[in-house]
Amino acid sequence: MLIGELAKLAGCEVETIRFYEKEKLLSAPERSASGYRHYRSDHLGELNFILHCRSLGISLAEIRQLANFRADPSLACEEINQLIDQHIKSVHQQLESLRLLEQQLLTLRQRCQHSSDAAHCGILQTLVQAAEGEPCACHGALPSQTAN
């Protein structure tokens, strides 16, 4: 099959396939005399594997590791477990960062309760003051930080 057909079957863009080939995550296809890539069904399996991993937020480096295990199924899976455990830990850290960001934005939003012009917008004033080096309400002590 040609690259467009592979892209359609996998539900991705042609450029995505080219990127994964360049990154050596997707094995190189054979080429015709005229230079067209010709893919086999195993390329679709590889591509779907990559796309599924990416949908889970797994990095390219981690996908390389998982692909090595996929290529040699006799290997012990402890490293796979550790990789996923580390990924879960990273997701927890991202969630905590997002919760903090949400609190900061909520605090910032409270600075402007009524519609008016930009000159009197509490949000804009807070952002400008922070840019000028003054303490800012959104990065001050948050309720979760003062609960001790």
Given CA atoms 5, 8, 9, 15 in this order, what sign does their dihedral have?
Answer: positive
Beta-strand (E) ranges in the chain? 30-31, 37-38
Nearest Cα to Cα of residue 16 among 31, 4, 34: 4
The answer on 105 and 58 residing in a single domain is no
Query: Considering its fold, how many domains does the chain have in total?
Result: 2
The whole-angstrom separation of Cα 19 and Cα 32 is 20
The CATH code of the domain that includes 26 is 1.10.1660.10
pTM for the predicted model, two decimal places? 0.75
Q: Based on the domain organization, do 64 and 82 belong to the same domain? A: no
* 49 plus 107 within the same structural domain: no
**What does each of the 148 residues of the chain score in pLDDT, given as a tens digit?**
999 999 999 999 999 999 999 999 999 999 999 989 999 999 999 999 999 999 999 999 999 999 999 999 999 999 999 999 999 999 999 999 999 999 999 999 998 888 888 988 989 999 998 899 888 888 874 444 443 3
C-alpha–C-alpha distance, residues 79 and 127, integer Å: 45
Residue 143 lies in a domain: no
